[in-house]
Each structure stands twice: as structure tokens, then as C-alpha cells.
Amino acid sequence: MPSKIINNALRNGRTVLTEVESKQLMSEAGIPVIETILAKTKAQAISMSRKTGFPVVLKIVSPDIIHKSDSGGVKLGLENAAQVGRAYGEIIAAAKKANPKAAIHGVSVQKMAKPGVEVIMGMSKDDQFGPVLIKDVAFRIVPLVRRDASQMIREIKGYPLLEGYRGQEPANITVLEDMLLKLSDFVDKTSEIKELDLNPILAYSNGAVAVDARVILESQA
């Protein structure tokens, strides 16, 4: 049964989910995501930033703006309320200038994640094979089993980084395998999804978290 988030978007004629909606969808699928809250006003952004704890990241939330950084829609490492207030105004202004017709829902607020090994997971629907799960340069047709997930992780070029390259903290491979399996199960059961990207996922020795998410639905026309 489709998620309420998917149903609401399709009912409104949208095939592109916002980052906030995409992360909520991933959370429902059991995939760890960094908590992200929608602020519709500058005052809300400041209040939410204080509750989240500085430093924070602000991003434009609009189904019409996919590449947020290109339109000046992202502000990183904001350390206090004054910076958040200023960033909110700059992001909204930049978004309106880049796309005057864009439907702007507001700005997302999330805590700045600690550095980790960056990996990407995603899905693209192939006309011939159906949903195909992608990780770095490893491809598999869903549904996956544990062996597929394990092999995918070890096939990517960046695998040495996950093992703890040059004294860096090694990533928890089992957690990444679990994320791949949950993602596989989710896209296998959710036919409405056309494309999905978790980019980046930050991997740590004690877990992993998706910092950004993008979901595109199949057109119902």
C-alpha cells in the first residue's frame, strides 16, 4: 500500500518529492536519516535551529528545485540564530531569482552531521529489468539478498576507505549491508518510485546516516 507521502504528492500532480518528504519516506522504510524539519518562516527556522542544536544546515524546500546548491539554496555550518536568520532570507531570495515560478514550501533545518566516509545508494527503474539498485559503481537488480549487498560494497572503488584507509575510522559494513537490503525491499514493494538517491550517506564505525535524499515518482498520466 503506497505511503501517505506518495499518495499526497500524486494527488497534487507532483512526481518529485521534496527532501523533507523523501527523508520521511526513507525513515518509514527503516533507513536512518538525519532529522530534517520544514521551516515555513524565518522565525521557525531560528526556533528549530535552537532546538536542533548548532551548527545547522539550511536548504530550500521546493519540488521545482532539484539541484539546490546550483540555485544558492544551501547554507552549511550556521553557528547561531543571527546566521540562520540571514541565511533563510538569502536562500528564499536566491530560489525566487533562480526559478520565479517555483513552488517554495520553505527551508529545511538539519543538524550539521559529523564527518564520515561518504557513500551513495540509489535506485533507477530500467525499462527492461525493472528496479536496479546502484551503489557507487556496483549494480544489482532488486530484490537483493545479503550476499548481493556484501558483494556490492566490496566491488566499489572506495571500499578501502570503508576499511579505514590511512588510519581513518573504519565504517560498519554490516550497517551498510542492512541499508542496502532495506532499500531493496522498499523499492521492490513500492512500484510508484522511478528514481531514488541517498547522497551522501555518511558511514561511521557505529552506524550510518543519510544526509540527503531525493525521490522521483512514476508519472500517473
Residue 2's pLDDT is 63
Q: Which residues of 52-88 are buried (b: 16+ CB within 10 A; e: fewer)?
A: beeebbbbbbbbbbeebeebebbbeebeeeebbbebb
74 and 133 inside one domain? no
We report the CATH number of the domain holding residue 200 as 3.30.470.20
91 and 136 inside one domain? no
Full domain range(s) for residue 204: 4-33+114-217
Residue 69's pLDDT is 86
Q: Are 169 and 178 in contact (CB under 8 A)?
A: no
> Omega before 143 cis (within 30°)?
yes
138 and 195 inside one domain? yes
Task: Name the amino acid, one letter, at 46.
Answer: I
148 and 184 inside one domain? yes
DSSP states of 149-190 as a string? HHHHHHHSTTHHHHTTGGGPPPP-HHHHHHHHHHHHHHHHH-
Residue 200's pLDDT is 93
Q: Which of 65, 82, 111 is the last residue of a domain?
A: 111
Pairing state between β 56-61 and 213-217: unpaired
Q: Are 211 and 34 in contact (CB under 8 A)?
A: yes
Helix (H, G, I), strand (E, B) or coil at 129: coil
Could you tell me where the beta strands, DSSP code E, fall in 71-115?
74-78, 106-111
28 and 122 inside one domain? yes
pLDDT tens for 166-196 read 778 899 999 999 999 999 999 999 999 999 9
Above 80 in pLDDT, residue 221?
A: no
26 and 56 inside one domain? no
Q: Which of 111, 136, 153 is the last residue of a domain?
A: 111
94 and 139 inside one domain? no
We report the CATH number of the domain holding residue 100 as 3.30.1490.20
102 and 62 inside one domain? yes
Neighbours of 32 (CB within 10 A): 15
Q: Which of 111, 133, 149 is the last residue of a domain?
A: 111
Count of domains forming the chain: 2
41 and 25 inside one domain? no
pLDDT tens for 29-54 read 999 999 999 999 999 999 999 999 99
Task: Name the amino acid, one letter, at 52.
Answer: T
Q: Are 122 and 198 in contact (CB under 8 A)?
A: yes
Name the β-bridge partners of 139: 134
pLDDT tens for 80-123 read 999 999 999 999 999 999 999 999 999 999 999 999 999 999 99
41 and 106 inside one domain? yes
- Of 11-15, 139-143, 203-207, the range with the lowest mean pLDDT is 139-143
